[in-house]
Structure 1
């Protein structure tokens, strides 16, 4: 399954919408997606399952890039 992860680059700062970034991961569950990112120094705000028409829409965007974590 594909997950879109919203995060802040600095895990010690309060989240600010204008600084929120996203990455896309292939994982079996939200829990696995979080586990795959646990070694990174980021502040995860939200992990969202992306599927169906929404996934197809995201794939067409210029910012879409699948992040390798394994």
Structure 2
């Protein structure tokens, strides 16, 4: 499944909506995705499954790229 991860780049800064970034990660579950990105030092706000029409909409963005992290 594909998950959209909303995060701040730093664990030490206060989360600010305007600085929220997103990445797409392939994984089995929310917990699996969180484990895969744990070593990156992100302050994860939300991990959301992306399926159906939502996934098709996201794919239309030219910057759409799914990370396949082992």
Q: TM-score, normalised by structure 1?
A: 0.94
- What SS does the corresponding residue of 2:54 show, helix, strand or coil? helix
Residue number in structure 2 paired with 1:54? 54
Structure 1 unmatched ranges of 5 or more: none
What residue is the counterpart of 1:11 in the other structure? 11
Number of aligned residue pairs: 70
Q: Structure 2: which 5+ runs fail to align?
A: none
Could you state the TM-score of these two structures normalised by the residue count of structure 2?
0.94
The within-5 A match list for 1:1-70 is: 1-70=1-70
RMSD, aligned α-carbons: 0.8
Q: List 4+ stretches of structure 1 deviating above 6 A.
A: none
Q: Aligned with 1:3: secondary structure? A: strand
